[in-house]
Amino acid sequence: MKRIVLLLACVAFVMSLNAQQAQSKMQLLETEHDFGKFKEEAGRQTYDFVVKNIGTDPLVIQNIVASCGCTTPEWTRSPIPAGGQGKITAIYDPKDRPGPFNKTLSVYSNSQNSVVVLTIKGEVMPREKTIEELFTFPVAGVRFESNHMAFTNIKKTEKKIRVMQIVNTSDKDAKVEFLNLPAHLSLRISPEVLKPGQKGLVEGSYDATKNAGWGNVSDMIRMKVNDVAQENVYYYISANLVEDFSGLSKEDMLNAPVFRISSNTFDLGKIKGSTQNEVEFKFKNEGKRDLVIRHIRSTCGCTAVQQGNQGVGIKPGESSSIKATFSSGGYKGKVTKAIYVYTNDPKNSEIVLMINAEVEQPTATK
């Protein structure tokens, strides 16, 4: 009996050994490829990884997963017989992807080593951009880098300068001028006259001391080229005018005004369309010096704002309020509107008040 059991065990072991040996096994001559440096305009790069089946059963590549959409795999779809070979093609698309890259392909198969990771790498040299791509704003034969010159944050006590490139793409001289500039803004082209193909600069100067506004402000400037006014074409200037707290000492900060509001959100709940809805935000000066509301603005004409003592100092310990009227008009569903408040509180110089509502419009009758 023992001999029979031993004989069966030996047979099972041999069968198991044969089963293990009778498998497909993937062998790759290499698992990494470096494309080196190449230009973006060279287009898609491909490389073939050679796959060998050194097992005894057919090898089937079941799936390949790329680490990003820029890399596309192709592979031998039919079973690779024992001793045969196939290939895995890695395709890399460099379009709009300048710089170094390192991507992987995870290969799934019926091989003993069921998952194999391939790596491709290289460096894409950015293509030279066209004039149209570099200078995106065309105006009568000249092109600006953009139609928007942003001065970003400007203290109310300072003057800021910005420059932008311009190019004459026409076949004749071009003279660009800016019309009806506000007192706080200066714009000029250097050189004054651009020769065909010549590049120049738009030199902008913003004097915040001459602008009575606060927060995000903008100007739409008209232009003329070679004495011809350009219709419906505007150069957009923006800035964020902020209080200058740079000169405050530590003692000044300790004794500064403090804008304190119980809630900066007012929920009107459900309201009817085409109605006027009153809102009041109450606040208090919890600081040691007078609090001044510099400016208040809403994000749309549907919200009218008033503050009785705007520009007048609110004494320490005193309370006040900001009143607003929201016109629901033709709005429907959930609506949120913002009110921006600018103060001389160095820690709360810009406060955002939110009005929420759910507007119900009457059901149309047939």
Domains of the chain by residue range = 22-125, 131-242, 250-360
Integer Cα distance of 136 and 235 in angstroms:
13
Domains 22-125 and 250-360 share a fold: yes
CA dist., res. 320 & res. 142, Å (int): 53
- Token pair belonging to 257: 């005004």
Query: How far is the C-alpha of 20 from the C-alpha of 84, rounded, in Å?
Result: 19
| Residues forming a β-bridge with 288 | none
Tens digits of residue pLDDT in 344-363: 999 999 999 999 999 998 87
Nearest to 198 by CA among 129, 131, 130, 127: 131
Burial of 154 (0-12, 13-18, 19+ CB in 10 A): buried
Considering the domain 131-242 in this protein, what is its CATH number?
Answer: 2.60.40.10
Question: For 99-126, what is each residue's pLDDT tens digit?
Answer: 999 999 999 999 987 799 999 999 999 9
DSSP code for 39: E
Which tens digit of pLDDT belongs to each residue from 122-146?
999 998 889 999 999 999 999 999 9
Identity of residue 361: Q
Spatial separation of the C-alpha atoms in residues 174 and 111, rounded to whole Å: 70
Q: Specify the amino acid at residue 90.
A: A
The predicted structure's pLDDT at residue 16: 43
Please report, for the chain, how many H helices and E strands are present, in that order: 3, 26
| Each residue's pLDDT tens digit, 218-256 | 999 999 999 999 999 999 999 999 999 999 999 999 999
H/E segment holding residue 85: strand 85-92
Written out in words, the top-level CATH class of the domain with range 250-360 is: mainly beta
Q: How many Å apart are CA 180 and CA 202, to the nearest integer?
A: 16
Q: What is the DSSP letter of 265?
A: E
User: Which of 128, 125, 148 has its CA nearest to residue 136?
Assistant: 148
Range 22-125 classified under CATH 2.60.40.10: yes
Confidence band (pLDDT; 50, 70, 90) for 56? very high
Distances (CA, A) of 76 to 59, 107, 283: 10, 12, 72
| Residue 274 structure tokens | 């085409």
